[in-house]
Chain A
Amino acid sequence: MTAPSERAAVARRAAARERESLSARLVEFLNQAPIHLALILISVIWLVPSVGLFITSLRERQDILTSGWWMAFVQGRFTLANYLRVLQPTGSSDTIGLNFINSLIITIPSTIMPVFFGAMAAYAFAWLKFRWRDTIFLVIVALLIVPLQMTFVPVLQLYNDPLAPLRALFGLGGIRLDLPKIQLTSSFVGLWLAHTAYGLPFAIYLLRSFFVGLPRDLFEAAKMDGSSEFGVFARIVLPLSVPALASLTIFQFLWVWNDLLVALIYAQSPSLQPLTVGLNNMLSTYGPEWDIVSAGAFITMVVPLIVFFSLQKYFVTGLLAGSVKT
């Protein structure tokens, strides 16, 4: 039991310490004030452009045309009409609602295929021995940054009549093949296959560097127990590589979702076009009609934003693992 005076002294000393640390913190804060100011300014500059367009997408057309978006806070009039308008079919096929569905149809297979085939190939390059393995891998490393522009015309030509090479091949042997003429530019298949191929060099490169780091003993043990090569791949390698597979999946997904160029080339029919192409059409037909363009732009951004916020950890890992592809 301590005397009251003693207790008061303890309290005084504690209060003094607190004041001291408080003032120390204040001094530190003031010393750092320029840093805080600079960072807050930069963050505001980075946020304001998106916020402005978002506010615009919630305003009435007349308000958008007659005053800046920052006036919306004064006017206090907000509406979802722009979103409803762009999502509804307007008779022509250029509706953002359809584009959204197309984006999903294009992106999902174009993500699964390169990740799966890429993982298989990466396993071969990391752990199996076959002829010319190292030479082929160097070609893949080189292909990582070859401009896709090098491929568009010949692939389009192939898509116009994909069975032509087969016909020609059998023609050499004197056999006439009556194969139907199909066009890959008028279906999603052409886009799926192109995106798969374009994503593969990066997928193989990224996953191989991860697979190489897995402990060899694990495979050897499983093979001793009579596991097949595919068994080892499916039951040991894939489950151990979930983090790498997750980052790759996110990157490939966003890459395809955000792509404009490849879709412009291979999705020539309006009924196939994804959101990016739909937005581009909207801009070129209506000019900047900000009420619908702003709503369309935000619908395009929703999926990447969800992916980013929910899977930020994998996103950054992938970014650091392979900053070769842009």
Chain B
Amino acid sequence: MTHARRNYAGWLFALPALLFILIWLVYPTLWTIRASFYTGIGFDLTRFIGLDNYTRLFTQDPYFFNSSTFPPTGTAVNNVIWLFVFTTLVIVLGLMIAVLAEKVRYEAIVKAVIFLPYAISATAAGIIWLFMYDPNIGLLNAILGALIPGWQPIAFTGDQHLATISMIVAAVWIQTGFTTVVTSAALKGIPTDIIEAARVDGASAWQIFSRIQVPMISSTITVLIVTMIIFVIKVFDLILIMGGTLGGPFGSARVIAFTQYLETFMNGHLGYGSAIAVIMMILVLPIILYNLRQFRREEALQ
């Protein structure tokens, strides 16, 4: 077969997909980067304002970042809380459940139960947790009421200080299935003779866990942490379902993807919304570069 014909066949096979990617991903991304430097009415983004959208976001938008209060509040702060609390919880819980489940015969059942919320939509999951948090008929208030005498029912998602953490709990419930299944698969990849040898040498269960299992699956844990960071940057459905179109009481539970939607599609600030989208992109950029480096390294090995 001639080189020319191969070349031609390759393009032909890739073309439909490449056209989709060009029209729906590449061109729009460039358009949005440009739009983030402009302002105007509707789609008519004609006035170039340089970095004004960005400076406004960090200095004049108390919903995005408010440093006049202590502690600071706003979208950016909420995202940092999500990043640390959510990521820590899903990784630790996933590891814990995977290690414990490995020791029992009904491992598959436990993993399936934990994994179920991951298969359903965040919309349905958000509703399930709104119901858990309901001040009148929710289970959580009922349990707290039974345990604590004189308990006054709390509207968890209706409280400015509790809304974000309530949503994080729901997100942990959704994503722990994913971290559990991936961690569990990695644990099964550790050769059993290593664990056996440690046991014969008198290592305790904790020592086996912390000195052998965790270090041996550290690359999997890294991948999971990266995946969860991407999840946090993109989380949107849960906030809309559990916090409504305001994003929690007085907009107190907004995260970056929510604020992007609100500014662009509800307030009609396309330039401003574009700047927020670009910030989301900048946040994932280190991960993109890391992925590219990993990919090239793996390709070089083959």
Residues of A within 8 A of B (CB): 32, 35-36, 38-39, 42-43, 46-50, 52-53, 56, 64-65, 67-70, 117-118, 120-121, 123-125, 128-131, 133, 136, 138-147, 149-155, 157-158, 160, 193-194, 196-198, 200-201, 204, 212, 223, 229, 233, 254, 257-261, 264-265, 275-276, 279-280, 283-284, 288, 290, 293-294, 297-298, 300-301, 304-305, 307-308, 312, 315-316, 319-320, 323-324, 326
Contacts and interface: CB of A to CB of B under 8 A. Distances in A.
Given A121-B14, A147-B257, A153 B32 contact: yes
Interface stretch (B53-61, B209-217, B237-245): B237-245
A307 B121 CA distance: 13
A280 B240 contact: yes
B21 A200 contact: yes
Interface string B22-63: 011111110111010000000100000000000000000000
A207 B115 CA distance: 24
Contacts of A197: 20-21, 23-25
Given A117-B17, A149-B277, A133 B10 contact: yes
Contacts of B136: 65
B182 A42 contact: no
A233 B196 CA distance: 46
Contact of A46 (B173, B244, B276): B173
B288 A300 contact: no
Nearest to A116: B16
B111 to A, nearest CB: 9
B223 interface: yes
Contacts of B12: 124
Interface residues of B, number: 100
Contacts of B245: 284
Contact of A300 (B124, B230, B274, B292): B124
Contacts of A297: 123-124, 127-128
Contacts of A67: 137
A257 B121 contact: yes
B86 to A, nearest CB: 12
B117 interface: yes
A323 B127 contact: no
A319 B28 contact: no
A23 to B, nearest CB: 19
Contacts of B223: 323
A283 B241 contact: yes
A36 B277 CA distance: 46
Contacts of A143: 21, 25-26
Given A123-B13, A152-B264, 15 more contacts: A32-B103, A49-B128, A68-B138, A70-B139, A121-B17, A121-B18, A130-B10, A136-B18, A146-B284, A149-B264, A153-B273, A265-B265, A279-B124, A288-B131, A316-B181
A146 B104 contact: no
A141 B131 contact: no
B6 A326 contact: no
Contacts of B14: 120-121, 124-125, 130, 133, 136
A131 B35 CA distance: 32
B17 A118 contact: yes
Nearest to A212: B302
B148 interface: no
Interface in B102-119: 103-104, 106, 109-110, 112-117, 119
B82 interface: no
B29 A150 contact: yes
Contacts of B79: none
Contacts of A118: 17
B231 to A, nearest CB: 5
A38 B31 CA distance: 52
